[in-house]
Structure 1
């Protein structure tokens, strides 16, 4: 499943469903096929996602590249290249920040 985060303030951010659910949880939102971060909720969602990204960066700080996982399992059991939460979350954080500046909500759906 693919989830697209959208806002009238910036371009779309497209993620695999499992990654999108992880981002929704990081923002403090209930994971689901459809949802919204209202204009009023944007500051908290941004702060929560920034904190999750900072925690992830701290987790990997000092870990040599060759010691980091090369792959990760997908929900269906296959493998894909490992991508950290901080790398995955950066585009979504940027979308949230643009949405806050433009006073536009962020929505998602399949």
Structure 2
């Protein structure tokens, strides 16, 4: 499934299924074909994403410092990179008191 997050306050954000599922679970939403994030829910959602990003960054740093780590080998796209567009959308939507919806 592909998620297309929409808000009147920002441009659309598109995420592939697994990334969208992960982000929705992190903000306390069950992955589904349709949904809404209301402005009142956005501060807690942004904090949850920032905490998950910080935890992943710390784990990546620890893994990079490990003696077995191979220099130059990429780990793929981080949660920080995948979630950033949605976090920015949430900031704008919250400031404008607009919902974020998907699947509608």
TM-score normalised according to structure 1 size: 0.80
Name the CA distance, whole Å, in 2 between partners of 1:7 and 1:54: 26
Correspondence list, 1:16-31, <5 A: 16-31=16-31
Tell me the TM-score normalized by structure 2: 0.84
Aligned: 1:66 with 2:72: yes
CA-CA distance at 1:58 after TM superposition: 1.4
Q: Which residue of 2 aligns with 1:51?
A: 51
Name the residue aligned to 1:109.
Answer: 103
Structure with larger Rg: 2
RMSD over aligned Cα atoms? 1.7
Map of 1:39 onto structure 2: 39
5+ long unaligned stretches in structure 1: 70-81
Deviations 1:23-50 (A, max 9, x none): 1011111111111111111111111111
Question: Which structure shows the higher strand fraction?
Answer: 1
What residue ranges of structure 2 are gaps of 5+ in the alignment?
none
- Aligned pairs, number: 98
Cα distance between partner residues in 2 of 1:8 and 1:88: 21
1:12 to partner: Cα distance: 0.8
